[in-house]
Amino acid sequence: MFVNGVLQAPGRDYEVRGRELHFDKPLAKEGRLGTIRWLSIFFGIAGTYRKNDSIDVVYESGGQRRVASALPIIPPKKEPLRPRT
């Protein structure tokens, strides 16, 4: 398991719940670029420095090593606030 090319350790960096990986640190994908921002990058006026994490999982299946790259990042569900008592 790698995040941005850095090896992650189960139990320390993430935990497996069912078929999902859950991380303590926030991860995010860069959203779609607007026309103005895309053009400024295209013409070399500006770059983009938004957070753009990438998750790759290395696993074995059928005796062969496989890699799942650029897996989707699903933000955690926000739990409703509990009323104070």
d(CA 74, CA 62): 28
The per-residue pLDDT for 77 is: 73
81 vs 38, more confident: 38
Q: pLDDT digit string (tens) for 21-79? A: 888 888 877 666 667 766 776 777 766 666 778 889 999 999 999 999 988 888 777 65
Residues 6+ apart with CB under 8 A from 47: 41
- Domain range annotation of the chain: 2-68
The per-residue pLDDT for 30 is: 65
The per-residue pLDDT for 31 is: 62
The answer to whether 2 touches 58, Cβ cutoff 8 Å, is yes
Long-range CB contacts (within 8 A, 24+) of 76-83: 76/22
Q: At residue 37, what are phi and psi to the nearest 5 degrees? A: -65, -45
CB count within 10 Å of CB 55 equals 20
The per-residue pLDDT for 54 is: 86
